[in-house]
């Protein structure tokens, strides 16, 4: 739709259009105002009857203007005034909620919104400042025949139904995008498999040619040694002397006796030297071609953690080792490690290949073909064992373009996350810890890797069981509200007898309700349901635990925050510690780590 198609149906009764755009965008060429409607420059006077104001808002403030300018103009709207806002954001990404409160506060009703067909303007909306509810407009800009209460009902009903339909369509779109990405990945893998086979054939041919060349070089060396031996023999030298004397009898015959005598003296001295050498040198010790593995992480317990083998940087391997079994391969021992460690996934980190130093430096750049060949062999071996080969592309792909041509099962385009213990709670703030915990932590990144490989999920270590004892319907209502209101929702709720309690809502929300001992790694005691619990309680407790590695997290009377303490009121306890039956006041003396967080959010 053109801007004139959106604007002109709403110019009835308008005598002036005020251009209040703040960026570098010029809307005058798009307006084509009819006779009798004047375009006026920006002013700071109220916008009332007979005036329409132009606003713009988009991702580039220098071009489209910003939110503050739009809100400032809305404050000057008076009943009877109208406005048009053009957006630089695509329709599905339109941040209308930034302006919604301002529109409502200044009695502005949006009459129509439509997409625009411009490269830098994607949508527009017409609004009017009014004291009563106005009828909405259809696609063609005509008012819908409704008024008063009927208009309110229409707007409310359409809002609810349209939102419902749009949610389902957005979910369907996400599913289609995911399916499309998986299909593209499968096709790319199929193409790469063909390339890998051709590469393997070329490598085999190269090895055969290299073997033939080595054999020829060994044959040449043997012949050269034989020629040198013949040239140094006495018989050959005597023959040369005789031939030389025969060719030049006058001069050669006179020199011949002296040359023969010199040859005899040299041979006699050489014979004495050989007889004197009675002690033979000791043969060289047999070369030890066995490979010795330095540090390697091996697990003999039942596999309940993700097992990773691959090419990783020092920092990434250290961070991953907190939540997974990690083994780093070297060019000389990679085949042995892939076979012996039996990993869930074989990972190659791009940063480990583009680093300035390290055993796999320059891999994939074309400057180290031997490393490229070894890595291709390791990937083929891992896939032959049924393991997932993953390229972790945590940097620009142009740094090692050769890696993209290898036969990967999946490619992760993301950084390796941040380990919470590397953050500073004071400098980074509580919100940063929460964001890292939920979206950017190393454990979250490993969960994506585990889903690709079908391996144990590292996020299972964050599961929390709530111990509760509701007595009546009021307690049940508080328990359900506090459980489902948590930003980090508990995985299970343990009660004494769930038969007589109305806890179906928890089960419908995928929260397990059962009796007996808890099964989650962490336990929170919510027996006292009269206590108010903020929605960030479990989130903050788990953030503190993952940051500190403590066995119990809770509050202290002194409101200690992010420090280890000898005693505390436990709010989150490791299940194994709870099952040990040790009194809480003896936990510190038993070697358990207790970590305190502040009970109230800072003001």
Segment 492-506, tens digit of pLDDT: 999 988 776 778 778
Cα–Cα distance for residue pair 144/135, rounded to 1 Å: 6
In this predicted structure, what is the pLDDT of residue 539?
95
Cα–Cα distance for residue pair 17/25, rounded to 1 Å: 16
What is the arithmetic mean of pLDDT over 350-377?
91
Whose CA is closest to 548, among 602, 596, 488, 587?
596
In this predicted structure, what is the pLDDT of residue 285?
43
In this predicted structure, what is the pLDDT of residue 312?
95
Cα–Cα distance for residue pair 579/455, rounded to 1 Å: 27
Q: What is the CA radius of gyration of the chain?
A: 40
Q: Which residue has the higher pLDDT, 554 or 154?
A: 554
Residue 595 contacts residue 563 (beta carbons within 8 Å): yes
What is the arithmetic mean of pLDDT over 433-449?
94
Average model confidence (pLDDT) for the chain? 83
> Which secondary-structure segment (H or E) carries 581?
none
At residue 295 the predicted structure's pLDDT band, cuts being 50, 70 and 90, is very low
Segment 27-84, tens digit of pLDDT: 887 788 888 899 998 888 999 999 999 999 888 888 888 888 899 999 999 999 999 9
Residue 4 contacts residue 40 (beta carbons within 8 Å): no
Whose CA is closest to 120, among 53, 58, 182, 55?
58
pLDDT over 70 (residue 260)? no
What is the arithmetic mean of pLDDT over 97-120?
85
Residue 542 contacts residue 488 (beta carbons within 8 Å): yes
At residue 135 the predicted structure's pLDDT band, cuts being 50, 70 and 90, is confident
Q: CA torsion angle for 372, 376, 378, 379 (degrees, to 10)? A: 130
Whose CA is closest to 82, among 5, 143, 10, 3?
10
**DSSP per-residue letters across 305-320:** SEEEEEE--HHHHHHH
At residue 277 the predicted structure's pLDDT band, cuts being 50, 70 and 90, is very low
Structure tokens at 418: 């941040």
> What ranges do the domains of the chain cover?
3-145, 232-267, 306-432, 458-596
68 phi, psi to nearest 5 deg: -60, -40
Percent of the chain with pLDDT over 70: 81
Q: Which CATH number fits domain 3-145: 3.40.50, 2.60.40, 1.10.287, 3.90.550?
A: 3.40.50
In this predicted structure, what is the pLDDT of residue 231?
65
In this predicted structure, what is the pLDDT of residue 432?
92
Residue 70 contacts residue 99 (beta carbons within 8 Å): yes
What is the arithmetic mean of pLDDT over 561-566?
94
In this predicted structure, what is the pLDDT of residue 247?
62
Count Cα neighbours of 363 within 13 Å in the Cβ-side half-sphere.
27
Cα–Cα distance for residue pair 387/246, rounded to 1 Å: 80
What is the arithmetic mean of pLDDT over 1-9?
81
Whose CA is closest to 297, among 312, 282, 276?
312
At residue 290 the predicted structure's pLDDT band, cuts being 50, 70 and 90, is very low
Q: Supply the pTM of this predicted model.
A: 0.56
Cα–Cα distance for residue pair 269/275, rounded to 1 Å: 10
Neighbour tally for 161: CB within 10 Å: 10
Structure tokens at 7: 């604007």
At residue 284 the predicted structure's pLDDT band, cuts being 50, 70 and 90, is very low
In this predicted structure, what is the pLDDT of residue 111?
86
- Long-range contacts formed by 456-461: CB under 8 A, 24+ apart: 456/303, 456/304, 456/305, 456/306, 458/305, 458/306, 458/323, 458/324, 460/521, 461/323, 461/521
- Asked if the domains at 3-145 and 306-432 fall in one CATH topology, the answer is yes
List residues bridging with 587 in a β-sheet. none
Residue 478 contacts residue 486 (beta carbons within 8 Å): no
Segment 194-244, tens digit of pLDDT: 666 667 667 777 777 777 787 787 778 777 777 777 666 666 666 666 666
Q: Which residue has the higher pLDDT, 598 or 134?
A: 598
What are the respective helix, strand and coil percentages of the chain, to the nearest 5?
45, 15, 40
What is the CA angle 158-159-161, rounded to 5? 65
Block residue for tokens 């780093």: 328
What is the arithmetic mean of pLDDT over 360-379?
92
pLDDT over 70 (residue 396)? yes
pLDDT over 70 (residue 261)? no
In this predicted structure, what is the pLDDT of residue 237?
66
Q: Which CATH architecture describes the domain 306-432?
A: 3-Layer(aba) Sandwich (3.40)
Task: Count Cβ atoms within 10 A of the Cβ of residue 290 and give its class: 0-12 exposed, 13-18 middle, 19 or more buried.
Answer: exposed
pLDDT over 70 (residue 281)? no
Q: Which residue has the higher pLDDT, 475 or 263?
A: 475
Cα–Cα distance for residue pair 237/242, rounded to 1 Å: 9
At residue 298 the predicted structure's pLDDT band, cuts being 50, 70 and 90, is low
At residue 127 the predicted structure's pLDDT band, cuts being 50, 70 and 90, is very high
Structure tokens at 415: 């950084």
């Amino acid at each position: 739709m053109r801007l004139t198609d959106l604007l002109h149906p709403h110019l009835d009764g308008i005598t002036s259009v005020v251009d209040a755009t703040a960026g570098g965008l010029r809307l005058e060429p798009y307006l084509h105002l009819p006779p009798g409607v004047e375009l006026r420059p920006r002013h700071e006077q109220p916008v009332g009857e007979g005036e329409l104001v132009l606003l713009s808002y988009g991702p580039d403030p220098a071009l489209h203007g910003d939110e503050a300018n739009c809100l400032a103009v809305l404050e000057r709207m008076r009943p009877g005034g109208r406005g048009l806002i053009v957006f630089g954001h695509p329709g599905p990404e339109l941040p209308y909620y930034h302006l919604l409160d301002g529109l409502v506060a200044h009695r502005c009703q949006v009459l129509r919104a439509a997409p625009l067909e411009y490269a830098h303007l994607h949508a527009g909306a017409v609004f009017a400042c009014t004291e009563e509810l106005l009828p909405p407009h259809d696609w063609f800009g005509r008012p819908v025949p409704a008024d008063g209460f009927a208009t309110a009902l229409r707007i409310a009903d359409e809002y609810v139904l349209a939102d419902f339909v749009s949610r389902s369509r957005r979910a369907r779109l996400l599913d289609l995008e995911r399916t499309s990405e998986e299909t593209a990945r499968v096709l790319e893998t199929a193409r790469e498999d063909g390339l890998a086979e051709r590469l393997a054939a070329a490598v085999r041919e190269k090895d055969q040619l290299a073997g033939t060349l080595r054999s020829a070089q060994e044959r040449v060396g043997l012949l050269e040694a034989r020629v040198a031996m013949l040239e140094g023999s006495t018989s050959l030298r005597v023959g040369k002397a005789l031939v030389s004397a025969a060719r030049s009898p006058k001069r050669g015959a006179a020199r011949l006796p002296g040359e023969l005598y010199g040859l005899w003296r040299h041979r006699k001295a050489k014979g004495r030297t050989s007889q004197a050498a009675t002690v033979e040198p000791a043969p060289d010790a047999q070369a030890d071609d066995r490979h010795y593995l330095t540090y390697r992480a091996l697990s003999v317990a039942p596999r309940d953690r993700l097992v990773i083998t691959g090419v990783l940087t020092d920092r990434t391997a250290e961070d991953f080792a907190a939540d997974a079994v990690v083994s780093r391969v070297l060019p000389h021992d990679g085949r042995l490690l892939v076979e012996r460690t039996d990993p869930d996934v074989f990972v190659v980190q791009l940063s480990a290949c583009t680093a300035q130093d390290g055993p796999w430096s320059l891999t994939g750049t074309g400057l180290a073909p031997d490393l490229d060949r070894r890595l291709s062999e390791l990937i083929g071996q891992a896939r032959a064992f049924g393991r997932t080969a993953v390229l972790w592309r945590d940097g620009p792909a142009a740094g090692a373009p050769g890696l993209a041509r290898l036969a990967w099962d999946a490619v992760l385009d993301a950084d390796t996350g941040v380990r919470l213990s590397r953050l500073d709670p004071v400098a980074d703030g509580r919100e940063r810890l929460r964001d890292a915990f939920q979206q950017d932590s190393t454990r979250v990144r490993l969960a994506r890797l585990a889903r690709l490989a079908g391996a144990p999920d590292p996020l299972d270590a964050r599961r929390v069981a709530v111990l509760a004892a509701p007595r009546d319907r009021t307690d049940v209502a508080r328990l359900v509200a506090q459980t489902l209101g948590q930003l980090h929702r508990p995985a299970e709720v343990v009660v004494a007898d769930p038969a007589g309690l109305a806890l179906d809502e928890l089960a419908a929300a995928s929260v397990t309700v059962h009796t007996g001992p808890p099964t989650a790694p962490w336990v929170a005691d919510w027996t006292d349901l009269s206590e108010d619990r903020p929605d960030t309680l479990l989130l903050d407790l788990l953030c503190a635990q993952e940051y500190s590695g403590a066995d119990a997290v809770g509050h202290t009377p002194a409101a200690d925050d992010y420090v280890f303490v000898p005693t505390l009121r436990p709010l989150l306890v490791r299940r194994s510690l709870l099952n040990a039956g040790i009194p809480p006041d003896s936990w510190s003396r038993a070697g358990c780590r207790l970590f305190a967080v502040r009970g109230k959010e800072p003001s």
